[in-house]
Structure 1
Amino acid sequence: MSFLFGKLSRFITITGVLVGAVTLNYSQASNFPLEIENCGKTVQMSAPPERVITVGQASTELLYRLGLHERVIGTSNWFTDVADQYEEVNAKIERLADNFPSFESVVSKRPNLVTADFLFAVGPQGVVGNPEQFQSLGIASYVLDSECVGSNSDGSPTAFRLDSLFQSIRNLSSMFDVQAQGDELIREIQGREAAAIADAQQRNLNTLSAVFWFSSADIQMDPWVAGTTGVPAWMMSTLGIKNIIDAPEEWPSVGWESIARANPDVIVIADMTRRRFDADDYQKKLEFLRSDPVTRQMSAVVNNRIVVMDAHAMRATLRSIEGLEHLVEALSPMDLAGK
């Protein structure tokens, strides 16, 4: 490996001007050289990157949305199917791994930039690699800003807000010198959020309580449900819906007996193509809810107030706003009388 690293370090430069034996011709960009603070580190770029590897579906679809698919040379860490509008462009781009790629497979593609959805993928203890390893080869790295949230005065993690998604949009659009597209995307999301809030208020959804079930290590084990800091918590607080789980974590494990005692009006379950666990399958979630002696007695199950939601919308992604809209649309026609 030392031979490989030595060879790559001669070919990949921090400026991103030389990749392999091919010289890339950049146009004169207005905001370069550029420095961006990212999760406690400074990302330095002298020109927009031309060769990008993505480690995470959220950053992949964000780059596609900004019209940067031609810069993406490889993707990885897929949670569900690519969004319909990106199927054609995504089909032309190599998938390095369904889950996390190796460090060697990433650097062998000679990227200028590696983007990641999670700090545990590309961070101090990154399962793919850490920023210093990539930097030593002249490769910049960037982690979505939702991973960089701080802590409250009591040490609990800061709750997700759209601001962190907007910061990722601003940073990536600046790195690629497409700020106008980034600003337009932010305005679009802000408008959709305002419309969803207004719709929810008209429908009096603020009288409801809910629980979000993401998955479980085993269908019979305690589920991972939404705490007070993740995207589902933002959805509920934005619409005025009570989260029955009061735990300062993103996805705490909570027993069904405790959930049944709280008896939420609505249960939201995640739908994903990933199959690490049996409970990743939303059909198995439904079967469990309707057959288990504890859960089948819950009001939401008896009255069929169960919402199926794209799991990717429950993460800090462009689909978060779609999840918010879907929740309003799914709850609106439900029979909530006598809940």
Structure 2
Amino acid sequence: MLLPRFFALVTGLGLSALACASPTHYPLTIENCGSTLTFTHAPVRAVTIGQAGTEMLYALGLGDKLVGTSLWFNDVLGKYKGQNDRIERLADNEPSFESVIGKRPELVAVELEWMVGPQGAVATREQFHELQIPTYLMPSDCESKDNLVGADGTRLQPFRIDSLYKSITQLAEIFDVQARGQQLNAQLQASLAKSIAAVQGKDLTHTSALVWFSSASLDIDPYVAGHKGIPDFMLGTLGVRNVVQSDEEWPTVGWETIAKANPTFLVIARMDRRRFPADDYQRKLQFLRSDPVTRNMDAVKNNRIIILDAMAMQASLRMFDGLESLATAINRYDLPK
């Protein structure tokens, strides 16, 4: 049995990380999404634009370094609530440039390039760098991706899980907590292996899914997961086919087209954000069960609807919880052949 051995190896890596990790040698230079970042010391004041980076820093034990957060889809995980309650939330969505620089950060960690990038909703990287404020972009949103095409960018290559581990490794190096980074990555790798093992006995050859994130209005086409992004990686990892073939991260697709594809499962996002009507997953469910097109889909008639936190559909720590929830849900169903 290879998987138990893998779990044992990963656990060993996590426990031994404190002993084998070497300290950061400053000045530290890191290549990040087309920019060269140099740190003369571990940042003592950081701002995050994006919940994924916020919870990564919490998991690395760096909550005391945060002076501001922003861009939240779900409430903070319960285990981080104590840390989070002490930190100012600059905005639920995108913060103003002035509010970020007003915190005098030595690092701004950014989840999505459309927030801080060439067409940044907050600012460009150059605007921050001119003020000697380094911006760290999550590699999962800028490597092998063109964020100038499509509303949320277009994947040039499929999302790679290594890019998420890379974020953790590099943030741990920047803050000189490499042992914690190694341990966290080992735990995530074990979680991934556990989710894969959970569905190994299931025949998913003819199983497909659609992932519905939100909709600007319930009477127009929904934002769904493209076939090279994070939800597609999650489905593919478990052996489920995504019915959407667009390379865009979150394209809009009509319900008639979706109904014709007839996915086995519908996966819908649950979020605490209320930017669009369909941010409320209960309104998604009401729509699916009442609309004349969607109510006749097999997934709706057979209640094969899986609800995941929106952050579980992002390159975040919650993605691993999302994989486990997907695997558990899939195992509950007797699937059509």
- Give the TM-score, by structure 1 length: 0.88
Matched residue type, 1:92: R
Deviation at 1:101, TM superposition (A): 1.3
Within-5 A mapping of 1:176-191? 176-191=175-190
Deviation at 1:204, TM superposition (A): 2.7
Matched residue type, 2:32: N
Q: Does 1:85 align with 2:79?
A: yes
Report what 1:61 is aligned to.
55
Deviations, residues 155-182 of structure 1 (Å, cap 9, x unaligned)? 9521112111011111101100111111
Q: Does 1:258 align with 2:257?
A: yes
Instruction: Tell me the distance in 1 between the aligned counterparts of 2:52 and 2:295.
Output: 35
Report what 2:192 is aligned to.
193
SS of the aligned residue for 2:200 comes to helix
Structure 2: segments with no counterpart, 5+ residues? 1-22, 147-153
SS of the aligned residue for 1:214 comes to strand
Instruction: Tell me the distance in 1 between the aligned counterparts of 2:41 and 2:205.
Output: 48
Which stretch shifts more, 128-137 or 79-88? 128-137
- 1:157–1:249 Cα contact (<8 Å) kept: no
Instruction: Tell me the distance in 2 between the aligned counterparts of 1:32 and 1:227.
Output: 40
**Which of the numbers 113, 117, 122 marks the counterpart of 1:123?**
117
Within-5 A mapping of 1:279-290? 279-290=278-289
Matched residue type, 1:177: D
SS of the aligned residue for 1:100 comes to coil
CA gap 1:57/1:183 in 2 versus in 1, 3 angstroms = same
Instruction: Tell me the distance in 1 between the aligned counterparts of 2:215 and 2:130.
Output: 39
Deviations, residues 119-171 of structure 1 (Å, cap 9, x unaligned)? 1212222222222222222211111111222269xx95211121110111111
SS of the aligned residue for 1:260 comes to helix
Q: Does 1:149 align with 2:148?
A: no
Deviations, residues 69-128 of structure 1 (Å, cap 9, x unaligned)? 000011111111011111111001111111111111111111111111111212222222
Deviation at 1:192, TM superposition (A): 1.1
SS of the aligned residue for 1:110 comes to coil
Deviations, residues 187-246 of structure 1 (Å, cap 9, x unaligned)? 111111111111111233444111111111111211111111211100111011011111
Report what 1:169 is aligned to.
168
Matched residue type, 2:304: R
Deviation at 1:330, TM superposition (A): 1.3
Instruction: Tell me the distance in 2 between the aligned counterparts of 1:156 and 1:75.
Output: 27
Instruction: Tell me the distance in 1 between the aligned counterparts of 2:185 and 2:269.
Output: 26
Deviations, residues 10-40 of structure 1 (Å, cap 9, x unaligned)? xxxxxxxxxxxxxxxxxxx642111111110
Q: Does 1:223 align with 2:222?
A: yes
**Which of the numbers 63, 67, 71 marks the counterpart of 2:65?**
71
Q: Does 1:49 align with 2:49?
A: no
- 2:155–2:249 Cα contact (<8 Å) kept: no
Aligned length: 309
Instruction: Tell me the distance in 2 between the aligned counterparts of 1:224 and 1:30.
Output: 42
SS of the aligned residue for 2:246 comes to coil
Identity percentage over the alignment? 52
- 1:225–1:252 Cα contact (<8 Å) kept: yes
Greater length-normalized contact order (CA 8 Å, ≥ 6 residues apart): 2
Matched residue type, 2:232: A
- 1:31–1:174 Cα contact (<8 Å) kept: no
Report what 1:96 is aligned to.
90
Report what 1:16 is aligned to.
none
Deviation at 1:285, TM superposition (A): 0.6
- Give the TM-score, by structure 2 length: 0.88
Report what 1:35 is aligned to.
29
Report what 1:204 is aligned to.
203
SS of the aligned residue for 1:235 comes to helix
Report what 1:311 is aligned to.
310
- 1:38–1:148 Cα contact (<8 Å) kept: no
Matched residue type, 2:327: V
Instruction: Tell me the distance in 1 between the aligned counterparts of 2:123 and 2:291.
Output: 42
Report what 1:111 is aligned to.
105
Cα RMSD (Å) of the superposition? 1.7
Deviation at 1:256, TM superposition (A): 0.8
Structure 1: segments with no counterpart, 5+ residues? 1-28
SS of the aligned residue for 1:202 comes to coil
SS of the aligned residue for 1:270 comes to strand
Report what 1:298 is aligned to.
297
SS of the aligned residue for 1:58 comes to helix
